[in-house]
Amino acid sequence: MSLNDRIPKEIWAEIFKQLPDKRQIKTCRLVCQAWDRASSFYFAEGIQVRLGEYDLDRFLEDLSLFDKLGPRITQLSLQGRLKVRIRSMILQPIIGYCPNLEWIRLEKKSAFSYILNLLDTADRLSHVKQVQIVHLKTCSPSERRLHAALNCRLCDTIRQLELVDINLNRVILSHGGLLAYLQYFHHLTDLKVGASIKGEVISLDLVLLSQSCPTLKKVALVGYQLMSHVSCLEPAAQLEYLVFEHTKLTLRVLEWIERCHLYHLCLKNAMVLPGHATEEIIKRFLLLYRQINTDQLIFWSDGWMYFMTPLDDTEEMPIYKIPCERLIVTEDLLYQDLFKSTDDKIRVV
């Protein structure tokens, strides 16, 4: 019997009482039967476990010894570089002990072998709402394809989804494109979509997107190879959060946004293609933008860059425009630099 096993459960209970925030627990390491009994009172909302490749064997042993632990685990974070796929085979029995897993997080350097294993055990992941790969954009094309395939296998339960190369990913293209791929995700609420600069420009109808995924509440669109438009002005009643980052959109999208009831809206280095009554529509949109939130804003349209910045010592958030030919734009361009870079700025709102 170890020293930990001789510690009364009352002592462990007192230790857990001193934890400032039970939801901030990032790592779980079971040490004794008393730990198991005491922890059951303090992790009612689920346990998040973070494991390296050399922790898998020990953790599997813990799960086999303490039958109450596995069902309480809802989040699993897997780290470490696996040298051979056989190491990830340990993941199968671990998942068998954790029937209530809702969230799986993979490090980029270990994603490939773990995803292969998760594909083999997808039928056991009946509660998983998100499979997240850290820095998915820097993963190899094969890893991104496997990630898209795994999410499609889990489409009945997935709530959050990130896709970074919809114009190159063969899994998505084999379904007939993004909208056809997403039609299987009946409970999707959070979507982040990107397009690779190496692929063709993808035109995305936001109205059809909201109709294909009627449960969507958050949408983030990233990449200049992604062109957003709307086929009509029918609003997406359920949509609450919308982000355009380094992407293009038509002027009509701004009119469509006016009809939606958003709680958060962000345009960061976006390009709005000009059209009929550009200045009038943009001014009306900017008034709406300032009402929705006070996030900083940068977008281009018809030779002008629009940006929003707070005035010193005030809560006012004026919006200016600057002729684009007067600017040298970089990725780390600061709003303060914009404000000070030229005397040609014109206050719009």
Give the DSSP letter of residue 274: P
- Let me know if domain 1-158 sits in CATH 3.30.160: no
Give the DSSP letter of residue 13: H
Query: Exposed, middle or buried: residue 302 (CB in 10 Å: 0-12, 13-18, 19+)?
Result: middle
3-state helix, strand, coil in the chain (%, to 5): 40, 20, 40
Q: Find out whether 138 and 112 touch, Cβ atoms under 8 Å.
A: no
Q: Find out whether 160 and 193 touch, Cβ atoms under 8 Å.
A: no
Summarised one tens digit per residue, pLDDT across range 230-284 is 999 999 989 999 999 999 999 999 999 999 989 999 998 899 988 777 888 898 8
CA distance 131 to 121: 13
- Domain segments of the chain as ranges: 1-158, 159-349
pLDDT computed for residue 239 by the predictor = 96
Residue 147 has, within 13 A of its CA and on its CB side, a CA count of 31
Lowest mean pLDDT among 87-91, 163-167, 344-348: 87-91
User: Of 314, 316, 305, 303, nearest to 339 (Cα)?
Assistant: 305
* CA dihedral of residues 68, 70, 74, 80 (deg, nearest 10): 140
pLDDT computed for residue 337 by the predictor = 56
What is the rounded average pLDDT of the residues 322-330?
A: 62
Q: Find out whether 201 and 228 touch, Cβ atoms under 8 Å.
A: no
pTM over 0.85: no
The bridge status of strand 346-347 relative to strand 297-301 is unpaired
User: Of 139, 128, 198, 187, nearest to 163 (Cα)?
Assistant: 139
Residue 29 has pLDDT above 50, yes or no: no
